C-alpha cells in the first residue's frame, strides 16, 4: 500500500493523505539555516546547531506525534481548520504534501477554500519563507481570518526543555505592527539584553489585523493546539508575552471573490547584530532591527518568493547534473538521479544531529559518520567537502585517535564521549581518498591542520593520515588484528565494557583494561584504506612509506585469512578474553555482516570474479558471500547478525541489549548492506548485488509503505529483522551512513562509474535486469557520456571504447575541463 507517489519530472514526492504511518519529513536549507518539516507542517528550525541555536520548539515523544510546527489556523465563518490537517484535524476535501529538493508545499481544502503553503529556506538566507496562497473554490465571495503560529524556543534546546525555573521568566518579545516593507513582525529577543547578539523574527508581508505573542492567551489555558482560543474567537488578542511561552502569530484577514487567489509571504528569520550595532535605542533597550527589515524587504512579495524557489530548483538541477542515469528502470533512476543524492546532502549537513529520531540535542558531528558521509557528497560540492575534511582532521589527537564527535557550532571535540573508537582514524583516510579521486586537489595533503584544534600544533594533512595508519599499527592484538577500543563501526560491540548497572554508557564506561579484544572489521578497513593510503604515498614519491604500509596491508590480509576466518565466513572479533565472536561454534551471533562485506570489498580472499566457477565458490570471498545470503538474507534486506542474542550477555556489550531483530541485534542495518553489495560486484556477481540493492532501497519498497512505514524516498538506518515481531518495519530515516554508502554502491559499482586517482573507471556490474543504460558524469569539469550494453552474464566485464577508439583497461583518463568524452562500454 502507498500513501502517495513520485512526481519524477518535478523531483517531488507527493503525499496524498495526512494519514501516513509516521510523519514523513523534508529538510529545508543547505547552508546555515535549517528546518525540519513534516507533511503536516510539524518540525522546527535552527541556525547551524540544532542544540545550541534553536529557533522554534518541538516536543519529541508528544501525543499525538508531530504536534508542534508552523501552523496556519483558518477561521471561515466560525469553521476553524488547519490546511496541514494537524493540529485541528478537521476533515479536508483535498490534501496534498509535496516534498521537493529544499522546499515543500502543503495544500488543504475545506468548505470551498484551498490553502497552499510553499515552505523553503532560500539560498544565502537565514530564514524559512512561506508563500501562502488562498483560493476561493466556491461560487460565493468569502471573508476569512487566518492566524499564523510559531512557538519560539529559548535558543539552547536542551536548557529549554529542562530549566523551567529560569526559563519561564525570561521570555521577551517586541512587536512591530507596521514594518518598513508594509507588513508586521514579531521579534523573539529572549536573552538579547544579556549575552546574545541574535534574535528571531516572524514577519508577514501584508498589514495584519492583529498579533499574539503569548502562548497561553493564544491557545487558552488547558486547551490543546487543536482548540486554540484565538482562532476560535476569530480575533487576535494583541497579547505581549512576558516570560512564560513566547510565540509569534499574525492575524490575516482575507477577502476573496469566487475563483480568486491571494498570496501572503511569511518569514521566520534569524538575525545577528554586531555588538556595537545591537540597539536601536539602548536606554530603552529597543533591538536594532535594520537587518531584519532588510530580510523582510527581500521577501516582501510573492514574486520574490517564487524567484527564491526557482533559484533553489536551478541550484539542484546544477548539482544533480554531476551524475545522472537513464536506465529504463524508473525506480533506479529516481533514486540515483534525485533522492539518494539529496539524502547525501542532508546527511552531510546534519551528520546524525537532527531528525524525527534524533533530537538535535544528543549527537553533534561524528568523526566516523561525517567521514563516511563525504563518500556520497564529495561530487556535489567538493569545496564544502574540503572544509569538512579539515574540520574533522582538526579533532584528531597526535597519536592518531580522534574525538568521536564534535559540535558544529564550535567545531570542538566533544569531551563527554572522548575518543577510543578504534575504527575512527582510518575513516579519515577513506574520506580524503574519495575527495582526491573526485577533485585531484593534491594540495590538500599539505594543508596545515592542528591536533585537537590546538593552535601551534599544525602539521600537513598527510601527516594526520600517517598517524591514522600508525594508530592501527600500534594497537594490534595477539592475532595481529586491530584492537577494538570502545567499539568499532558497530557502536554496540563493546568488548571492553562489562556493564551490569542500568543506565551506564556502554561506550564510555571502559571498565576493563588490558584486554585483547580485536576487530576483524577494523582489519578489513585497514586493508581497504591502507591501500588507498599507499596510493597517496606513491604519488607523493614517498617510497619508504609505500613499502612500509604495503607490507602492513599484506600482513593484515594474512591475519584476516588465518586468524580472522571461521571456516565458512570471517569472524567478527575476539573478545576481552581472546575468544572468537561470530563463529559457527556459537548458538547466537554466529555470523556478522560487517567483516564479510568489508573484507570482500577490500579484496581479501578474492580468488575469482566468475561466480559460476568452483574456484569462486571455494574462495573465502565466495564462501563468505554465500553464507551472508543464506544466513543473513531476508526479503527486506540482510540482517546485521544472526541468530540474534535472546538474553543480555555482558561480554559483547550493548548489542545484546536490543530485543532480537532490532538495531545492531539482528536488525537490517541498512548501512552495511551496501558493503556486501559492493563486495558482490567486486567478485563479479552483479545479479546478487542488484537484488540486494532493491531489497532495502526505498523506491522499491514504496508499494509496501504500510509495512515499511517510513518515507519511501529516503533510506532508513534500520529495518526490523527476521527475528523481530515487526519484520520489515523501518526506523530512523534520513540521518544514516546508508545514504552515502548506497550512493557509492549504486553509482560507482552497480552502474560502475567511479572516479579514481587518474581517471574515471567504467566497470558496471548490475546483472541481467538492466541491459542498457547511459550515465552522464561530470568529473573535474569534463563531461563523460557513457553508454553501456550489458549482457548480464555472470563474471562478464566491460570492454570500452573512448571517442571511438578502443581503450586498454577500464580507466578513462581524465579529460580537460570543458570537454565531452564519449564512452561506450560492452559486457
Site residues, ligand GLC (CB under 6 A): 352, 366, 368-369, 489-492, 654, 663-664, 671, 717, 736-737
Q: Shortest Cβ distance from residue 369 to ligand GLC (Å)? A: 5
Nearer to ligand GLC, 30 or 353 (CB): 353
Do 95 and 18 meet the contact criterion of CB atoms below 8 Å apart? Answer: yes
Q: Shortest Cβ distance from residue 666 to ligand GLC (Å)? A: 13
Q: Shortest Cβ distance from residue 497 to ligand GLC (Å)? A: 11
Alpha-carbon distance 403 to 627, whole Å? 35
Q: Shortest Cβ distance from residue 487 to ligand GLC (Å)? A: 7
Q: Shortest Cβ distance from residue 664 to ligand GLC (Å)? A: 6
Nearer to ligand GLC, 622 or 737 (CB): 737
Nearer to ligand GLC, 358 or 680 (CB): 358
Sequence-distant (≥ 6) Cβ neighbours of residue 220 within 8 angstroms: 227, 228, 229
Nearer to ligand GLC, 545 or 664 (CB): 664
3-state secondary structure of 344: helix
Q: Shortest Cβ distance from residue 716 to ligand GLC (Å)? A: 11
Do 398 and 775 meet the contact criterion of CB atoms below 8 Å apart? Answer: no
Residue with cell 514526492: 13
Pairing mode, strands 782-789 and 820-826:
parallel
Residue with cell 518579545: 173
**Residues in a beta bridge with 460:** 448
Sequence-distant (≥ 6) Cβ neighbours of residue 513 within 8 angstroms: 496
Q: Give how far Cα 448 sits from Cα of 270, 427, 453, 454, 535, Å.
A: 33, 19, 11, 12, 21
Sequence-distant (≥ 6) Cβ neighbours of residue 63 within 8 angstroms: none
Q: Return the closest-CA partner of residue 292 out of 409, 171, 152, 188.
A: 188
Q: Return the closest-CA partner of residue 512 out of 483, 489, 490.
A: 483
User: Which of 730-767 are b and which e, b meaning 16 or more Cβ less than 10 Å from the residue's Cβ?
Assistant: bbbbbbbbbbbbbbbbbbbbbbbbbbbbebbbbbbbbb
Nearer to ligand GLC, 117 or 736 (CB): 736
The continuous run of DSSP H or E covering 326 comes out as: strand 323-326
491 in active site: yes
Do 69 and 84 meet the contact criterion of CB atoms below 8 Å apart? Answer: yes
Sequence-distant (≥ 6) Cβ neighbours of residue 37 within 8 angstroms: 25, 26, 27, 28, 43, 69, 104, 119
Alpha-carbon distance 267 to 203, whole Å? 5
Nearer to ligand GLC, 250 or 352 (CB): 352
Please tell me what DSSP assigns to residue 814: P
Q: Which residue minimizes CB distance to ligand GLC? A: 491
Nearer to ligand GLC, 676 or 786 (CB): 676
Nearer to ligand GLC, 366 or 728 (CB): 366
Q: Shortest Cβ distance from residue 489 to ligand GLC (Å)? A: 4
- What's the grid cell of residue 129? 519563507
Nearer to ligand GLC, 489 or 576 (CB): 489
Do 292 and 277 meet the contact criterion of CB atoms below 8 Å apart? Answer: no
DSSP letters for 44-112: -EEES-TTTSEEE---TT-SSTT--B-EEEEEETTEEE-TTSTTT----SEEEEEE-SSEEEEEEEETT
Angle made by CA atoms 792, 685, 694, in degrees to the nearest 5: 85
- What's the grid cell of residue 712? 519511501
Q: Give how far Cα 118 sits from Cα of 39, 84, 312, 342, Å.
A: 12, 12, 13, 19
Other CB atoms within 10 A of residue 294 CB: 13
Alpha-carbon distance 323 to 380, whole Å? 9
Nearer to ligand GLC, 26 or 641 (CB): 641
- What's the grid cell of residue 342? 539529496
- What's the grid cell of residue 64? 499525538
Which ranges of 330-449 does DSSP label H, i.e. alpha helix? Answer: 330-334, 340-350, 367-377, 382-393, 424-439
Catalytic residue among 423, 424, 491, 566: 491
Nearer to ligand GLC, 165 or 647 (CB): 647
Alpha-carbon distance 322 to 59, whole Å? 38
Active-site residues, by number, are 491
Amino acid at each position: 500500500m502507498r500513501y502517495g507517489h513520485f512526481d519524477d519530472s518535478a523531483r517531488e514526492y507527493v503525499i496524498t493523505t495526512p494519514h501516513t504511518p509516521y510523519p514523513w519529513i523534508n529538510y529545508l536549507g543547505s547552508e546555515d539555516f535549517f528546518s525540519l518539516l513534516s507533511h503536516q507542517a510539524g518540525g522546527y528550525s535552527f541556525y547551524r546547531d540544532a542544540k545550541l541555536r534553536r529557533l522554534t520548539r518541538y516536543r519529541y515523544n508528544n501525543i499525538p506525534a508531530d504536534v508542534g510546527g508552523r501552523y496556519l489556523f483558518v477561521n471561515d465563518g466560525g469553521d476553524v481548520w488547519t490546511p496541514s490537517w494537524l493540529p485541528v484535524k478537521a476533515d479536508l476535501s483535498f490534501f496534498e504534501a509535496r516534498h521537493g529538493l529544499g522546499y515543500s508545499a502543503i495544500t488543504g481544502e475545506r468548505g470551498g477554500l484551498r490553502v497552499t503553503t510553499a515552505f523553503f529556506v532560500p539560498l544565502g538566507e537565514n530564514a524559512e519563507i512561506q508563500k501562502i496562497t488562498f483560493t476561493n473554490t466556491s461560487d460565493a465571495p468569502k471573508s476569512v481570518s487566518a492566524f499564523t503560529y510559531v512557538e519560539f524556543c529559548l535558543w539552547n534546546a536542551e536548557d529549554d526543555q529542562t530549566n523551567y525555573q529560569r526559563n519561564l521568566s525570561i521570555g521577551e518579545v517586541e512587536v512591530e505592527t507596521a514594518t518598513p516593507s508594509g507588513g508586521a513582525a514579531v521579534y523573539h529577543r529572549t536573552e538579547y539584553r544579556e549575552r546574545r547578539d541574535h534574535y528571531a523574527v516572524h514577519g508577514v508581508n501584508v498589514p495584519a489585523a492583529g498579533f499574539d505573542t503569548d502562548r497561553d492567551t493564544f491557545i487558552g489555558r488547558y486547551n490543546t493546539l487543536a482548540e486554540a482560543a484565538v482562532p476560535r474567537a476569530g480575533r487576535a488578542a494583541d497579547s505581549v508575552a512576558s516570560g512564560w511561552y513566547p510565540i509569534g502569530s499574525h492575524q490575516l484577514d482575507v477577502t476573496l471573490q469566487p475563483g480568486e487567489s491571494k498570496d501572503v509571504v511569511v518569514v521566520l528569520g534569524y538575525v545577528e547584530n554586531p555588538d556595537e550595532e545591537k540597539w536601536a535605542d539602548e536606554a530603552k533597550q529597543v533591538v536594532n532591527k535594520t537587518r531584519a527589515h532588510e530580510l523582510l524587504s527581500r521577501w516582501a512579495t510573492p514574486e520574490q518568493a517564487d524567484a527564491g524557489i526557482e533559484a533553489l530548483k536551478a541550484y539542484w538541477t546544477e548539482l544533480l547534473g554531476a551524475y545522472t542515469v537513464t536506465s529504463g528502470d524508473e525506480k533506479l533512476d529516481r533514486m540515483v538521479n534525485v533522492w539518494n543524492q539529496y539524502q547525501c546532502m542532508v546527511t552531510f549537513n546534519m551528520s546524525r544531529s537532527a531528525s524525527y529520531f534524533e533530537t538535535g540535542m544528543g549527537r553533534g558531528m561524528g568523526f566516523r559518520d561525517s567521514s563516511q558521509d563525504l563518500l556520497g557528497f564529495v561530487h556535489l560540492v567538493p569545496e564544502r567537502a574540503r572544509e569538512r575534511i579539515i574540520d574533522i582532521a582538526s579533532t584528531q589527537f597526535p597519536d592518531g585517535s580522534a574525538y568521536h564527535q564534535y559540535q558544529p557550532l564550535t567545531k570542538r571535540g566533544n569531551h563527554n564521549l572522548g575518543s577510543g573508537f578504534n575504527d575512527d582514524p582510518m575513516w579519515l583516510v577513506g574520506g580524503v581518498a574519495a575527495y582526491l579521486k573526485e577533485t585531484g586537489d593534491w594540495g590538500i595533503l599539505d594543508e596545515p591542520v592542528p591536533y585537537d584544534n590546538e593552535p601551534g600544533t599544525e602539521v600537513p594533512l598527510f601527516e594526520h593520515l600517517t598517524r591514522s595508519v600508525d594508530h592501527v599499527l600500534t594497537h594490534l592484538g595477539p592475532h595481529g588484528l586491530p584492537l577494538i577500543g570502545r567499539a568499532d563501526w558497530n557502536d554496540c560491540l563493546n568488548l571492553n565494557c562489562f556493564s551490569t548497572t542500568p543506565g551506564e554508557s556502554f561506550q564510555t564506561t571502559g571498565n576493563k583494561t588490558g584486554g585483547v579484544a580485536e576487530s576483524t572489521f577494523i582489519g578489513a578497513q585497514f586493508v581497504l584504506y591502507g591501500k588507498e593510503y599507499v596510493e597517496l604515498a606513491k604519488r607523493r614519491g614517498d617510497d619508504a612509506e609505500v613499502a612500509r604500509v604495503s607490507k602492513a596491508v599484506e600482513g593484515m590480509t594474512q591475519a584476516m585469512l588465518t586468524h580472522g576466518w571461521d571456516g565458512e565466513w570471517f569472524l567478527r572479533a575476539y573478545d576481552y578474553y581472546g575468544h572468537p565472536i561470530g563463529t559457527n561454534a556459537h548458538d547466537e551471533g554466529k555470523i556478522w555482516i560487517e567483516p564479510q562485506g568489508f573484507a570482500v570489498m577490500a579484496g581479501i580472499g578474492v580468488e575469482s570474479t566468475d561466480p559460476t566457477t568452483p574456484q569462486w565458490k571455494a574462495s573465502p570471498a565466495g564462501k563468505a558471500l554465500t553464507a551472508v545470503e543464506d544466513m543473513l538474507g531476508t526479503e527486506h534486506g540482510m540482517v546485521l547478525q544472526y541468530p540474534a542474542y535472546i538474553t543480555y550477555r555482558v561480554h559483547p556489550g550493548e548489542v545484546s541489549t536490543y530485543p532480537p531483530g532490532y538495531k545492531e541485534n539482528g536488525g537490517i542495518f541498512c548501512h552495511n548492506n551496501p558493503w556486501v553489495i559492493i563486495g558482490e560486484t567486486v567478485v563479479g556477481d552483479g545479479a546478487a548485488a542488484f537484488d540486494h540493492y532493491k531489497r532495502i532501497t526505498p523506491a522499491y519498497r514504496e508499494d509496501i509503505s504500510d509495512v515499511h512505514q517510513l518515507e519511501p524516498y529516503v533510506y532508513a538506518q534500520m529495518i526490523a529483522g527476521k527475528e523481530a515481531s515487526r519484520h520489515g518495519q523501518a526506523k530512523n530515516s534520513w540521518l544514516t551512513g546508508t545514504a552515502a554508502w548506497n550512493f557509492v554502491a549504486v553509482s560507482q559499482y552497480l552502474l560502475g562509474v567511479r572516479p579514481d586517482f587518474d581517471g574515471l573507471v567504467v566497470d558496471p556490474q548490475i546483472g541481467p535486469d538492466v541491459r542498457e543504460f547511459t550515465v552522464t558524469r561530470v568529473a573535474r569539469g569534463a563531461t563523460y557520456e557513457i553508454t553501456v550494453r550489458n549482457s548480464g552474464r555472470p563474471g562478464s566485464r566491460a570492454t570500452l571504447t573512448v571517442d571511438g577508439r578502443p581503450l586498454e583497461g577500464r580507466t578513462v583518463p581524465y579529460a580537460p575541463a570543458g570537454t565531452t568524452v564519449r564512452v561506450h562500454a560492452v559486457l
